[in-house]
């Protein structure tokens, strides 16, 4: 789907347009997807109070021994653990992009379906090996 400048509108040279606009290379699309996912995961962790330097929500000691708070804390920690795992997957995927290894299954080495990568940009496995986790 090539998107070119305006067709038939004079010179097609619009003032203020960057002369070196990035081309739509697939690799940069995946990087963009990964960075979006990374930002979202970071935001969710921050909301839970598990962003950098913190180990969890700051619970008041006076309430820390109620079963409800304990349960909520456990849920928050479980969720934060999943988010951190996902974040690590995203980091690893970005490193694979840098190394040029992105988009191949770690189990069998096949090229992962682009549609699958767009839906799950941090995945390390093809559809056949996706159930390993």
Positions in the binding site for Zn ion (CB under 5 A): 105, 107-108, 126, 128-129
Residue with Cβ nearer Zn ion (4 or 132): 132
Residue 110 C-beta: closest distance to Zn ion, Å: 5
Residue number with the smallest Cβ distance to Zn ion: 105
Residue 109 C-beta: closest distance to Zn ion, Å: 7
Query: In sequence order, what DSSP letters do the residues of 67-118 get, joined into one string?
Result: HHHHHHHHHHHHHHHHHHHHHHHHHHHHHHHHHT-TTB-TTT-PBPPHHHHH
Angle at Cα 79 formed by Cα 104 and Cα 132, nearest 5°? 30
Closest to 84 measured CA to CA, from 96, 92, 94, 72: 92
Residue 108 C-beta: closest distance to Zn ion, Å: 3
Residue with Cβ nearer Zn ion (39 or 108): 108
Residue with Cβ nearer Zn ion (88 or 128): 128
């Amino acid at each position: 789907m090539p998107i070119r400048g305006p067709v038939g509108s004079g010179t097609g040279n619009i003032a203020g347009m960057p002369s070196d606009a990035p081309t739509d290379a697939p690799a940069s699309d995946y990087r963009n997807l990964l960075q979006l996912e990374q930002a979202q995961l970071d935001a969710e962790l921050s909301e839970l109070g598990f962003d950098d330097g913190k180990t969890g929500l700051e619970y008041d000691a006076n309430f820390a021994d109620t079963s409800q708070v304990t349960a909520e804390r456990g849920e928050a920690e479980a969720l934060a653990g999943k988010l951190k795992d996902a974040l690590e997957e995203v980091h690893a995927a970005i490193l694979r992009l840098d190394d040029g290894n992105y988009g191949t299954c770690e189990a069998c080495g096949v090229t992962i379906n682009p549609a699958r990568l767009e839906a799950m940009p941090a995945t390390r496995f093809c559809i056949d090996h996706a159930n390993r986790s």
